Amino acid sequence: MINSAIYFDQETDFDTIYAKVAAEKEKGESGYYDLPIHQDALVAEIEAYKKNNLDILYGCENIVVVGIGGSSLGAKAIHNALKFRKSSKRMLFLESSDPLKIDMELGKISIDKSVFIIISKSGSTIETISLFKYILAQFGAVTPKEMAKRLILITDKGSKLEQLGLDNDVQTFTIDANVGGRFSVLSAVGLVPLALAGYDIATLLAGARMLHDEFFVAKNDRHGLVKKASFLATHAETLSNNVLFTYTSLLKDFNAWYVQLWGESLGKVDRQGNRRGLTPIGIIGPVDQHSFLQLIMEGPRDKSVTFIKIQHSLESIKIPDIKLKGLEGCDFVNGESFETLINRQCDSTLESLRSVDVPTDIIELETLDESNMGYIIYYFELLTSLVGAAFDINTYDQPGVEVGKRILKEKFNAG
């Protein structure tokens, strides 16, 4: 169960903004909208793969995801939010051309007790394909066929990587072209690795579907998503940063997923030629009460802040009733659970920001589980689309990253 509250006012033209995203969904301009409702075939395909590969999966200890950006952030966010509840397999994420990181990650595992999932939407992401080659070499292979049983490919329908998979008898799952990388966690991109690691992907999808049905079927916007999107878009020039202040370390990678979703979707030149965007900032409470809070309180008034709080963390350790001489000022929490402390810290920080009129809202998850993760992922995807609609931008492309790719190629070609 997820509840929310918004502590700012905004006059909103609900119908206009709603109609824009409903039209995007209807026309298939972005395919992520329907992922919670149209994936029975994929779930069955994943189940079939598991059944047919028991020999490999039985002794498999590690699910290694090779992908960067939208190809890894979503599964990583869900895994790191839930791994404490579930006896999942170990998941590793190879997502950088950083040689020390590659060495460190692969150093942790036996490659012959691992399945490698190569994810590239275009099929030609330079980091991912280079890492793919490196993994082939680790197995002494020069073609994917030689390690086909330990490989899975995930890529756009019709890409050259899909063809490579077919030619080499490698299990290949595809993504629809209209599902953008950063909106792809509920497609094969997220579902395949999470299912193999042991998570309940049907419940994850059902969680997302709850919000889908509330919003698009019942047309009940109980979280005020349209109001929030309208507020953020209307005030984007003054409130140019949106801070996600998450009161659990387990959502650190969820924050990173949000930063990509928000930054790459909303940082755009709009249809009138104006630069639009909201800078996403992910911080963790209470740690960042000791780092970033001062800036929000007393620095320029250019931030809105969204809090995320977990009502029940499933861990009930308490602060012992020990009195230390001279430190009696800290005894007011004695005998309380750390959960109570962190949640009251969240409430106190929220109140302190409200007291100085920083625009805030809060999202409360009853607990961290597949259902709530599916729901909150869909919440942020939908919010991103709504802000994009209010901005009048193309939320789903990323033209600004092409220049660097071209320059990189030139540098290598020049030697």
Residues tagged active-site: 264, 290, 405
State the binding string over 173-192 for a copy of itself (x if CB under 8 A, else -): --------xx----------
Closest CA to 225 of 269, 217, 233: 233
Q: Name which of 36 and 74 has its Cβ closer to a copy of itself.
A: 74
State the binding string over 346-375 for a copy of itself (x if CB under 8 A, else -): -xxx-xx--xx-------------------
Q: Name which of 63 and 135 has its Cβ closer to a copy of itself.
A: 135
Which of these ranges, 26-34, 171-179, 216-224, 309-317, lies near a copy of itself under the rule CB under 8 A?
309-317
- CA dist 394 and 385 (Å) reads 9
Instruction: Give exposure, 242-262, as e/b (b: 16+ Cβ within 10 Å).
Output: bbbbbbbebbbbbbbbbbbbb
For the CB of residue 19, give the shortest distance to a copy of itself in the complex, in Å: 26
Q: If binding is defined by CB under 8 A, does position 137 make contact with a copy of itself?
A: yes
Q: If binding is defined by CB under 8 A, does position 210 make contact with a copy of itself?
A: no
Q: Which of 38, 50, 108, 133 binds a copy of itself (CB under 8 A)?
A: 133
Q: Which of 235, 295, 364, 392 binds a copy of itself (CB under 8 A)?
A: 295
For the CB of residue 209, give the shortest distance to a copy of itself in the complex, in Å: 27
For the CB of residue 402, give the shortest distance to a copy of itself in the complex, in Å: 9
For residue 93, the number of C-alpha atoms closer than 13 Å in the C-beta half-sphere is: 21
Alpha carbon 185 to its chain centroid, in Å, reads 7
Which amino acid is present at 370? E
State the binding string over 236-275 for a copy of itself (x if CB under 8 A, else -): xx--xx-----xxxx-----x--xx--xx-xxxx-----x
Q: What contacts 294, CB < 8 A, 6 or more positions away?
A: none
CB atoms within 10 A of CB 273: 6
Q: Name which of 27 and 404 has its Cβ closer to a copy of itself.
A: 404
Which of these ranges, 11-19, 30-38, 233-241, 375-383, lies near a copy of itself under the rule CB under 8 A?
233-241
Q: If binding is defined by CB under 8 A, does position 222 make contact with a copy of itself?
A: no
Enumerate residues 27-66 that contact a copy of itself by CB under 8 A. none
For the CB of residue 240, give the shortest distance to a copy of itself in the complex, in Å: 6
For the CB of residue 99, give the shortest distance to a copy of itself in the complex, in Å: 4
Spatial contact of 118 and 89, defined as CB atoms under 8 Å apart: no
Which of these ranges, 12-20, 108-116, 130-138, 379-387, lies near a copy of itself under the rule CB under 8 A?
130-138
